Amino acid sequence: MTIDTVGFDADDTLWHNERYFHVAQQRFHDLLAEFAEPHTTEEVLLQAERRNLMLFGYGVKGFVLSMIETAIELSDGAIPASQLQLIIEQGKELLAHPVELLPYVPEVIGELASTHRLVLITKGDLTHQETKIATSGLADLFWQIEVVNEKDPATYSRILGRHSIDPSSFVMVGNSLRSDILPVLDIGGRGVHVPYEITWSMELAVAEDHHDFVSIADLSELPEVLARW
């Protein structure tokens, strides 16, 4: 079936995101240098993020709370309040960081908006995601915008069902195999993977060869891929 609806991830697909978290995490390693080696800090932080995901969800707030929890654990409660305040300030910097679009995004989104129905499907903190969407300059180009807590087959099925979208006519474009591609393939849709320079540990996945899945270097290749389908 011809593709008539194209879904897009937001963070690290349309604009930079993970690189800012990476910088914050490096600062966090430095902050805790007197208490633990960087590899230990990274491991304990990842464990905290995994534990807290169901409580705090994705996004900056959960990341900051997990850093605070990690700092207290690794320091045996000895970390000064002033250093905890630095962690909070890092979180505020992440929330206030301006949106920086990835290459080719305005041109490709503008082009495809004239030929396809575009749906933005992003996960994370609702307020932060809405702010980034509003300031990106892209919001008016999307037919529908969905901010979700998780990206799994059930979530995609609900979204497509709510908007009367046939999965066989839908393709999802994103940087995460785990969240953007594999769940859509599971429900009968198609996927275009656009790898980002950094992949968060919790988004790592492996995709087997699939006739409804392709990988491209950047969004400039997307119109040609859609034309072939």
Give the tens place of pLDDT for each residue, 92-106: 999 999 999 999 999
Task: Tell how far CA 180 is from the center of its chain.
Answer: 9
Decide if pLDDT at 172 tops 70: yes
Distance CA 17, CA 196 (A): 10
Map out the domains of the chain as residue ranges: 5-16+100-228, 18-96
Q: Residues 179-194: pLDDT tens digits?
A: 999 999 999 999 999 9
Decide if pLDDT at 125 tops 80: yes
> Among the CATH numbers 1.10.40.50, 3.30.210.10, 1.10.150.240, 1.25.40.10, which is that of 18-96?
1.10.150.240
Kindly state the average pLDDT of the residues 30-38. Answer: 96
Note the pLDDT of residue 210.
Answer: 66
For the entire predicted model, the pTM comes to 0.92
Distance CA 48, CA 70 (A): 7
Q: What pLDDT band is residue 201 in, cutting at 50, 70 and 90? A: low
List the one residue out of 211, 26, 15 whose CA is nearest residue 128: 15
Protein fold of 5-16+100-228: Rossmann fold (3.40.50)
Distance CA 57, CA 66 (A): 11
- Backbone CA torsion sign across 72, 73, 78, 79: negative
Distance CA 172, CA 152 (A): 12
Kindly state the average pLDDT of the residues 66-73. Answer: 98
Q: Residues 210-228: pLDDT tens digits?
A: 668 999 999 999 999 999 9
Q: What DSSP state is assigned to residue 179?
A: I
- Asked if 119 and 163 touch (Cβ cutoff 8 Å), the reply is yes
Q: Residues 140-171: pLDDT tens digits?
A: 999 999 999 999 999 999 999 999 999 999 99
Note the pLDDT of residue 205.
Answer: 65
The b/e string for 60-94 (b: 16+ C-beta within 10 A; e otherwise) is: bbbbbbbbbbbbebbbeeebeeebbebbeebbeeb
Task: Tell how far CA 162 is from the center of its chain.
Answer: 22
- Asked if 13 and 194 touch (Cβ cutoff 8 Å), the reply is yes
Note the pLDDT of residue 157.
Answer: 98
Q: Which residues contact 14 (CB under 8 A, 6 or more apart)?
A: 8, 101, 102, 105, 109, 120, 136, 138
Decide if pLDDT at 13 tops 70: yes
Terminal C-alpha separation, the chain: 8
Mean pLDDT value across the chain? 94
Q: What pLDDT band is residue 198 in, cutting at 50, 70 and 90? A: confident
Note the pLDDT of residue 221.
Answer: 98
For 27, 143, 146, the CA distances from 30, given in Å and listed in that order, are: 5, 44, 37
Q: What pLDDT band is residue 229 in, cutting at 50, 70 and 90? A: confident
Decide if pLDDT at 203 tops 80: no
